[in-house]
Amino acid sequence: MSSPPSLHFRPSVYLRPRDIGETVVLLGRYGRRARILAGGTDVLVQRDPSVEALIDLEAVGLAYVVSDAQSTRVGAATTQAEIAVSERLATPALRAVQEAASLMATPQIRNVATVGGNLCTASPAADLATPLLALDAEIRVEGSSGGSQLPLRRFFVSPGQTVLRPDQLFVEVIVPVAGARSGCAFLRLARTATDIALVNVAVALEFDQTDIVTKARIALGAVAPIPMRADSAEAALLGVRITRDSAVAAGEIAAGEASPISNQRSTAEHRRSVVAVLVRRALLRAAERAEDRRDEFGPFTGDGRL
Ligand SMILES: Cc1cc2nc3c(=O)[nH]c(=O)nc-3n(C[C@H](O)[C@H](O)[C@H](O)COP(=O)(O)OP(=O)(O)OC[C@H]3O[C@@H](n4cnc5c(N)ncnc54)[C@H](O)[C@@H]3O)c2cc1C
């Protein structure tokens, strides 16, 4: 059972830095006594009584989606609503990120909740974690001892815990450009449209000219202590075509790789069977997208809920 919100959440200092440098200085000064405030949709629910200073990111300028020949970069303070309508993410190779941002939470939450907050909270069910893991995203951080970049896969440590030190700011997510024939998809199952996911799944595929899979990525959420990749299912898809049979087989392998728990939302067995179904469906959808580049133009408007 989760603990009730603290009645003693009374930070005495509110800080509003104007750039990354100022933010890092403040993080260094306050250390564990400070908390970054992005959208606040987790901070203000968790109400950690040890927090003395809130560092508001709004004026730092980290809300953007930009791309060049190598990558697409999403600033840490970009909201889910902004991601959901970004033309730069409305491509077969990136659409899974947009689907996750469109499907999670409620419109009110999506208007303020950010990608940085979603990843730094490190919930096993964080909806943006799975598409970004499937797309081999890296994250850029800045801290007192300088900047660094690391694969998102190495970011999560345990539920609620990342590798970020108290003096480090998560600056942006970097998604490398995918091959010419690529497609991705995100699907989630939740008890209600606004509840967190029982299971979420994202896949990203690349194909050669003969429709053979040259790269497969499958990420699973809410079925392990941290968002995870299904390495064996990915390996099973290399060198084959995506057919119903290969998608079913990969879904079953992925279900075997998951280590879900039973809780008030679902049993472990149910979660495992949902993994098999969602992976199968997501693979078929991603393969269709790699074929059909028509949806390259325009933000995601469909309903990917199940
Ligand atoms: C009603 C409701 C429904 C929700 N539904 C969903 C859902 O369906 N799916 C889902 O995944 N989540 C859901 N959430 C959780 C939450 O909305 C998301 O995790 C959200 O993306 C958090 O972003 P934020 O900007 O509000 O983070 P904040 O609350 O501002 O911050 C969260 C944590 O990240 C840290 N942080 C934020 N930005 C940075 C940064 N740039 N560098 C370093 N640390 C940083 C903060 O200090 C804090 O510890 C829901 C929450 C609510 C209240």
Query: What is the 3-state secondary structure of 234-251?
Result: HHHHCCCCCCHHHHHHHH
Q: Which of 14, 26, 41 to mutate to test the pocket of ligand 1 (most atoms within 8 A of CB)?
A: 41
Instruction: Give, in degrees to the nearest 5, the angle at Cα 153 between 150 and 159.
Output: 115
pLDDT higher for 35 or 8?
A: 35
Whether the pLDDT of residue 64 is over 90: the answer is yes
Average pLDDT estimate for 39-50: 95
Q: Give the tens place of pLDDT for each residue, 244-259.
A: 999 999 999 999 999 9
Q: Are strands 182-190 and 169-176 parallel, antiparallel or unpaired?
A: unpaired
Whether the pLDDT of residue 217 is over 60: the answer is yes
Q: How far is the CA of 30 from the centre of ligand 1 (A)?
A: 21
Look at residue 296 in the predicted model and tell me its pLDDT: 44
Q: Which atom of ligand 1 is nearest to the CA of 188?
A: 8
Look at residue 150 in the predicted model and tell me its pLDDT: 98
Residue 34: DSSP 8-state = E
Report pTM.
Answer: 0.94
Q: Which residues touch 246 (CB under 8 Å, ≥6 apart)?
A: 236, 237, 240, 283
Residue 71: CB atoms within 10 A of its CB come to 16
How would residue 4 be classed by pLDDT, with cut points 50, 70 and 90?
Answer: low
Decide: 104 in ligand 1 pocket, CB within 6 A: yes
- Is residue 261 classed as helix, strand or coil in its secondary structure? coil
Q: How far is the CA of 158 from the centre of ligand 1 (A)?
A: 16
Q: Which of 2, 36, 133, 144 to mutate to test the pocket of ligand 1 (most atoms within 8 A of CB)?
A: 36
| Helix pair 268-291, 244-257: axis angle to 10 deg | 140
Contact 218, 234 (CB under 8 A): yes
Q: How far apart are CA 257 and CA 301, in angstroms?
A: 32
Amino acid letter, residue 27: L
Q: Give the tens place of pLDDT for each residue, 120-163.
A: 999 999 999 999 999 999 999 999 999 999 999 999 999 999 99
Strands (E), the chain: 13-15, 34-37, 53-56, 65-67, 71-75, 138-143, 146-151, 156-158, 161-162, 169-176, 182-190, 197-207, 213-221, 228-229
Whether the pLDDT of residue 304 is over 60: the answer is no
Average pLDDT estimate for 214-238: 98
Instruction: Give the residue from 212, 196, 22 showing the smallest Cα distance to 124.
Output: 196
User: In this prediction, what percent of the chain has a pLDDT beyond 70?
Assistant: 93
Q: Give the tens place of pLDDT for each residue, 66-115.
A: 999 999 999 999 999 999 999 999 999 999 999 999 999 999 999 999 99
Decide: 169 in ligand 1 pocket, CB within 6 A: yes
How would residue 6 be classed by pLDDT, with cut points 50, 70 and 90?
Answer: low
How would residue 302 be classed by pLDDT, with cut points 50, 70 and 90?
Answer: very low
Task: Give the CA-trace dihedral at 255, 259, 262, 267, to 10 degrees.
Answer: 10
User: In this prediction, what percent of the chain has a pLDDT beyond 90?
Assistant: 90
Structure-block tokens of residue 249? 């087989």
Q: How far is the CA of 117 from the centre of ligand 1 (A)?
A: 4
